[in-house]
Amino acid sequence: MPPSQRENIARSASLLARLWAWSAPALLIGLATAGCHKDSGPQWQVLAQGFHPTPWNETLEFPAGIRMALGEDDPSRIRITARIAPEVWRPDRIEGQWVCDVPLGGKLERFEAGRIELEGDRLAFRQVETPRRDEVDAFERGVFYLTPGRVHLRPEGGERPPPLDYGVDLDRGEEREGRWRTWVGGISGEGLPVWPGTREEVTCTLPPNSQLTFATAYQSLLPSSQGSARFRVRVDGEQVFEHTLDPAGGPAGASSPFRLDLTPWAGRRTLTFEVDGDPGMAAFFNLTLGPAQRGTYAERPWGPGRPDLVIFLIDTFRADNLEAYGGRGLTPALDDMVSRGVAFRRAWSQAGWTLPAQVSLLSGVMPREHGAVDKALAFPQGLVSLAECLAEAGYRCGAVTDSGFISRNYGFDQGFEWFEETHLDDWDLGQTFRSALDFYDRDDGRPTFLFVQTYRVHAPYRQGVDEDVSRWRELVREAALDLKQRGATVEDVAPATVEAFRSLYEDGVRSLDEEFGPWLEAIESRGVLERGTLVLTSDHGEAFWEHGDFLHGGVLWEEKTRIPLVLYGGGLQPRVVRHGVSLVDIAPTLTRLAGVPAPPGWWGTDLLSLNDDRPIFVFGDEIERLGHRVTVIDGARKVYLQNEPEGDVLRAFDLERDPGETNDLRDTSEWPGQMKQRVREALESFNVPRTDAEAADLTPDKQRALEAMGYGGGGQ
């Protein structure tokens, strides 16, 4: 069977399944004590540096019947236990099986992967992986499994369960590079875990004219988002701050930014952080002592420092949504910004789907080098990320994402002192933008790097500011039923269906643009871009049956791999650049703007010094039974190759004469074979892993969320 026929069969099967399934002053960061360096420039002290949470001996009891105790062998781990009374259980839909609501805040499983146990006197149940519907009847007795917000139990005799304790082991964090990192729900980063009923102390000499900057976060362990927590700060025992936070305060109860002028307490030595209230997870994040007079992003008292940097990545955003890339006026706010920036008209991703593309963006290396080329693999900690480079140079690094692949579970939090991710059930672009502005408003004077990623135009396509998904569900049902009734493949979908999906996607593009305009104005009003630079880009495009397939992944057609790439701000003069560029060029561009040396081995080129074309490489899937493929773009020519030393040329196109890739020149021209030989050495080097692959921390809920986005089974 020829390769093209195998590709068509594999692509149709995969897509049909998807339709059915659904040079600045030195910045002295992290000093052990402020003032231990005699430097005339500004200094900052990160309180997470050298911190370890304090053990305690007693078990904390709460009126709600929840108990908290330290893990027996690991003081960084806490055991949370709640009693489930017999009357709480109700018959499940399977005879002899019982169900109840998760007794510890139903959102815990979204972001936490702690060990869960269900046990009573001389009785213990074993947790099993959540079964598919057709597997439940065959499940053994004496087990339990979880579905969103629920516990399903199969007692040995099928009788109503006795009193049981539902216990979860949760981490208080871990040390990385000498700093303590913790997490509360969808927020992770550098901070002090201080759960209700506990306190932590940090000893240091408060310098004169100093300010403490921080944020708080709280996730209740009570059901239905009940509960609240009171955060306090004391200086040598004197209370200087109190704030009450409940889960309605934002993602995981994240609060507004706080700044405390500690000038009156200069010379004091003990800072105490305490939390009281209902049982839950809580933390003080990004605790930083810095200058009380910090000025603004546009003007610092100590003069200009390193420039602020921001990446806004719109996942699944086709380049031709924008007028500068051939669009039709869908995005007036974005188009206005692009017209005032440096637009790279010929830009490609490094991959046809999210995970490998965004790891390449932030690591500066090719997909097979970093290894995150499968849904089960993560951003490896052995690579130096863009955020780590900038943090080492004194940047305050934050990220706001829509979770999915771009999550702590997949290792994307490395280098970010604040990493906030929104679960699929709570996607809200408005909240994403507000969270990004909150991070800016925690300005402590250090230069800032912010990475903002949104799935706003990714499947499931949503309508309006409310991001209503109902029309998407209708279209999926209608398309799948039509194909089944006609016995057709995805390649034969009706033209009306194609137009309906494209129209729904474009609704999302318009809605995104409506919210982007005010957000950009808010950033500019803070002075972030007077010297700073914003990068607008995407990780891949989206297919609407231009070549018989839908969504992304699979064959690396232009509609899936062409992306926008625009630099804006920083005094950049508007212009259009027509040299070929790709995602791996972003990291070296930003380090160059920051005056930071790029790590050895990054493949990209500083975009602002680019003066010629060079080959661009886009890597395909290893997980849709197509084999490992790569496309190479050199000038106007593009070849599809099997990425092996003696691999075949699969297709070849002249993009200048044939931008729609309809006239395959593989068998009628000599240049495809010659091009293959020219890039052979580079391809061989790209196939050598830079570090060991790492497994993603895939919780059952994370798996469900990815499947809802179309990343089911083994593919994308």
Residue among 701, 715, 618 nearest 404 (CA): 701
Q: Which residue has the tokens 């091009």?
A: 675
Question: What's residue 18's pLDDT?
Answer: 40
Q: Which amino acid is at 223?
A: P
Question: What's residue 133's pLDDT?
Answer: 67
Question: What's residue 715's pLDDT?
Answer: 42
User: Across residues 330-357, what is the average pLDDT?
Assistant: 97
> How far is Cα 400 from Cα 433, in angstroms, rounded to an integer?
8
Question: What's residue 647's pLDDT?
Answer: 81
> How far is Cα 61 from Cα 70, in angstroms, rounded to an integer?
13
Lowest mean pLDDT among 291-305, 364-378, 427-441, 619-633: 619-633
Output the six-digit token pair for 176.
């990385």
Question: What's residue 136's pLDDT?
Answer: 64
Question: What's residue 667's pLDDT?
Answer: 94
Question: What's residue 44's pLDDT?
Answer: 95
Ranges of beta strands (E only) in 585-648 are 616-619, 629-634, 637-642
User: Across residues 252-280, what is the average pLDDT?
Assistant: 91
Note the Cα 1 to chain centre separation in Å. 40
Question: What's residue 225's pLDDT?
Answer: 67
Taking only the tens place, the pLDDT of each residue in 53-80 is 998 888 999 988 899 998 777 778 899 9
When pLDDT is cut at 50, 70 and 90, the band that residue 86 belongs to is: very high
User: Across residues 29-44, what is the average pLDDT?
Assistant: 49
Taking only the tens place, the pLDDT of each residue in 354-390 is 999 999 999 999 999 999 999 999 999 999 999 999 9
> How far is Cα 65 from Cα 201, in angstroms, rounded to an integer?
28
Mean confidence (pLDDT) of the chain? 89
Angstrom distances, CA of residue 531 to CA of 24, 308, 570, 593: 12, 7, 4, 10
In angstroms and rounded to an integer, the radius of gyration of the C-alpha atoms of the chain is 27
pLDDT exceeds 80 at position 649: yes
pLDDT exceeds 80 at position 15: no
Output the six-digit token pair for 291.
């200058």
pLDDT exceeds 90 at position 195: yes
Question: What's residue 527's pLDDT?
Answer: 97
Question: What's residue 417's pLDDT?
Answer: 98
Q: Where does residue 326 fall: left (phi above 0), alpha (psi -120 to 50 degrees), or beta otherwise?
A: left
Considering 21-25, 399-403, 600-604, the range whose residues carry the highest mean pLDDT is 399-403
Q: Rounded to the nearest 10 degrees, how much is the dihedral formed by the CA atoms of 572, 578, 584, 588? A: -30
User: Across residues 199-222, what is the average pLDDT?
Assistant: 94
Strand 616-619 to 342-344 pairing: unpaired
pLDDT exceeds 50 at position 11: no
Q: Where does residue 325 fall: left (phi above 0), alpha (psi -120 to 50 degrees), or beta otherwise?
A: alpha
When pLDDT is cut at 50, 70 and 90, the band that residue 26 belongs to is: very low
> How far is Cα 368 from Cα 359, in angstroms, rounded to an integer?
11
Output the six-digit token pair for 7.
């590709």
User: Across residues 255-280, what is the average pLDDT?
Assistant: 93
Q: What percent of the chain has pLDDT over 90?
A: 70
Q: Is 559 helix (H, G, I), strand (E, B) or coil?
A: helix
When pLDDT is cut at 50, 70 and 90, the band that residue 641 belongs to is: very high
Taking only the tens place, the pLDDT of each residue in 129-187 is 887 766 666 677 899 988 888 899 999 888 999 999 999 988 899 999 999 999 998 99
Q: What percent of the chain has pLDDT over 70?
A: 91
Q: Which helix (H) or strand (E) holds 389?
A: helix 386-392
User: Across residues 273-300, what is the average pLDDT?
Assistant: 95
pLDDT exceeds 60 at position 430: yes
Question: What's residue 1's pLDDT?
Answer: 47
